[in-house]
Structure 1
């Protein structure tokens, strides 16, 4: 299990068939539509907010906001835009790289995850651990997202726990410690690579449409050629004095994979 730290930090085809009276309501009758307010899960550090939202229409968990700290989240409750899937799955209406891909014990390759509940634990005055529980509605397959915020340090730590109670083994092809979304005009990636005694050679590049992957499969020698650290600049290339920058790293060394995908609308998934 790997953890992603970030400084400053930091869909499934659904068809609903609703039975309706073919004749319609009696003349003069008024239809009353009652909508339950969306559930908001805000996570804050000193200068940053990461907000999740549960969409009442499909029960999924979305990343509704990530950016400078918010004074309140009222507008996120009312907006019709749910945001980006917080932990996208494979075999549904998500057409991009999923955070998790699994095949159930009966061979079904589709995985749907719906919000169940969440809980918050105050570890100490400046550290909070949030657990968000997601479950497949048809199979006993549960994913728990862990988000630990360090308020004073502006750090968000994320990892994932996957459990199942299906009758036979399931196959997990890949899973991510976390998934983050960004909406900016441009994205600049800073990565580090090298060799013994020169592991931190800096290289910068603009992320364009498609996928870029930083990874290694060298196990205990992972730091030899590819350093498990990245920095992401939003809107414009940053320098030593200015820029909007997110820094990310793996909590433990070993095999790792950072994937950056820019879609047709210019949104970035990490």
Structure 2
């Protein structure tokens, strides 16, 4: 049985749940325990999907060559590796971390769905860099352009993203998907752990947002409802930083679905 590895920013865990629910041919689900998996496991329990966990990538056996011919079937397994948020603030470190993870993942699977975008313009060559090792598919548009980030993927690509940003007419706007709304703003700036108090972190966040003329927090509806308390989380951010809430439609799973299917095609699934 073939095995697909999914290496993802934890912000995209809802999109993985969507793929799991819309691809019933997935026979086995394995989740790597690395300290950021608990929320994802709770959601798997909620949708009633069975899974197993392993303590690390090194606990997995190497992938076996897939069966061919009349004994082959269409089912396959997935191994999911959620990656912590926060590395994005240091693009070089993000690339080093993701490439190291890809190298460790490669012997364990037949192909990898890399659920990232350019993310600081450092991951755009991942498919090419690993082409001689195994198939890797990153989040990209139908024309082959790698999306900028998770929000760009949800919106459907760069054109939609740029049009949305232009519509704000220069007014700073935080764009939140349901999973983004669950993470403290400090996670995005990656302050050194223990260096600042919560009050100091708040003051720095407020200073940066005010200095950049941020006035809105936008609630981007993805069509997925795996994450609870979206409205409440957005309102908390708005109240904390004195921002106005606006609603955004247009989120979809098209890019995630297309890229996942591209990898399946490369693996003859």
Same fold? TM cut 0.5: no
Kindly indicate which of the two structures has a greater share of residues assigned to helix: 2
TM-score, normalised with respect to structure 1: 0.26
By relative contact order (CA 8 Å, sep 6+), the higher-ranking structure is 2
Kindly indicate which of the two structures has a greater share of residues assigned to strand: 1
TM-score, normalised with respect to structure 2: 0.26
Whichever of the two has the greater Rg, that structure is 1
